[in-house]
Amino acid sequence: MSADQTAAGTAAVPSGVRIGPLRAGERITLTDPKGRRHSVLLAEGGTFHTTKGGVSHDELIGGPEGVVVTSVGGTAFLAMRPLLNEFTVTMPRGAAVVYPKDAAQILMACDVFPGARVVEAGAGSGALTCSLLRAVGPTGRVRSYERRDDFAAQARRNVESFFAGPHPSWDLTVGDLVESLEAESTPQEVDRAILDMLAPWECVDALAERLVPGGVLLAYVATTTQLARMVETLRVHGGFTEPEATETLLRAWHAEGLAVRPRHDMVGHTGFLVGARRMAPGFRAPARKRRPAPGAYGEDYNGPRAATPEGAAERG
């Protein structure tokens, strides 16, 4: 099996998982005794330089991962191929990436399935793209849109580096999402749409026209003001179920003898997920029974307003 082949499939359907001996051209992670990780691109004759002396790449090439190599100065390094979650946080990036904990939630919240037709924007550095491509499998399609050509080029480099070449289920378009969708000669159906951009609410109408009934639209946003605007835009549209907003906190633990406690270095905040499902054409979700909190849509509120009985009551 060649380096381009994967543990789970054939060269035609890459999973990004490499097996067998380490090869020149592969990226590996060297972890030092303090747990610091160093991403290294293996090259014949190459050296990984550290303050404790160099590690020769040739010691690793041709051997298995999971070995320990020692620098000239006597420091031991654990050598492993990175998992997808490590790859996405260590790969070169232009735009900020979706963190692995959020990518995992996105796959579950959107129920991304083998065969799904997924639209994603912006592609940014291609981190989420890698997870989406894995989830849709050989019969699915991921269409990614990125309006900055430098970021799109970086996304392509990262995706092709992870999958060891072009992925057959991926289309990357350089351009604004809405403009690109509107330029399609025939609108293509979409099962799942995932937005990671500054103003996802601007894409709701265009995606609503293409999402199948029951399809999922999800936005990953960094701030509460974006979260609120997205929720209200989905409500105002009327063709979506009541939006759900969540945040995922991941806390690693230190476990050593009797010293068992949360680690101090938690990632405090990454982003919020705002998701809703597409209703069938002509249907609106049943009006919510719950009245908005007092003042929710009071005179200080200046966002989109849904024409609901609750909203009307609140607005007087």
Nearer to ligand SAM, 30 or 130 (CB): 130
Q: Alpha-carbon distance 100 to 316, whole Å?
A: 44
Closest of 103, 128, 112 to residue 250, by C-alpha: 103
User: How many of the chain's residues bind ligand SAM (CB under 6 A)?
Assistant: 21
Among 22, 61, 127, 216, binds ligand SAM (CB under 6 A): 127
Distance CA 158, CA 161 (A): 5
Residue (of 238, 237, 216, 255) closest to 105 by Cα position = 216
Residue 310 token pair: 């609750």
Rg (CA), the chain: 23
| x/- track of binding to ligand SAM for residues 235-274 (CB under 6 A) | ----------------------------------------
Phi, psi angle pair for 6, to nearest 5°: -115, 165
Q: Specify the stretch interacting with ligand SAM by CB under 6 A; choose among 67-75, 121-129, 242-250, 262-270.
A: 121-129
| 70-99 footprint of ligand SAM as x/- string (CB under 6 A) | -------------------------xxxx-
Q: In this chain, which of 197, 218, 276, 306 binds ligand SAM, going by CB under 6 A?
A: 197
Cβ burial, residue 26 (10 Å; 0-12/13-18/19+): buried
204 binds ligand SAM per the rule CB under 6 A: no
Q: Are 125 and 154 in contact (CB under 8 A)?
A: yes
Pattern of binders to ligand SAM over 142-161, x per CB under 6 A?
Answer: ---xxxx--x----------
CA-to-CA dists, residue 156 to 88, 150, 170, angstroms: 13, 10, 10
Q: How far is the CB of 173 from ligand SAM (least distance, A)?
A: 9
Please give the backbone phi and psi of residue 178, each rounded to the nearest 5 degrees, phi first: -65, -45
Taking CB under 6 A as the criterion, the residue among 191, 196, 232, 314 binding ligand SAM is 196
Nearest approach in angstroms of CB 295 to ligand SAM is 32
Least separation in angstroms between CB 188 and ligand SAM: 17
Q: Which of 156, 83, 157, 152 is nearest to 121 (CA)?
A: 152
| Segment near ligand SAM (CB under 6 A); pick from 56-64, 191-199, 209-217, 225-233 | 191-199
Closer CB to ligand SAM, residue 5 or residue 125?
125
Cα(213)–Cα(280) distance, integer angstroms: 5
- Binding-site residue positions: 125-128, 146, 176, 196
**Which residues make up each annotated binding site for S-adenosyl-L-methionine?**
125-128, 146, 176, 196
Residues of the shown chain interacting with ligand SAM in the complex, contacts defined by CB under 6 A:
95-98, 121-122, 124-128, 145-148, 151, 176-177, 196-198
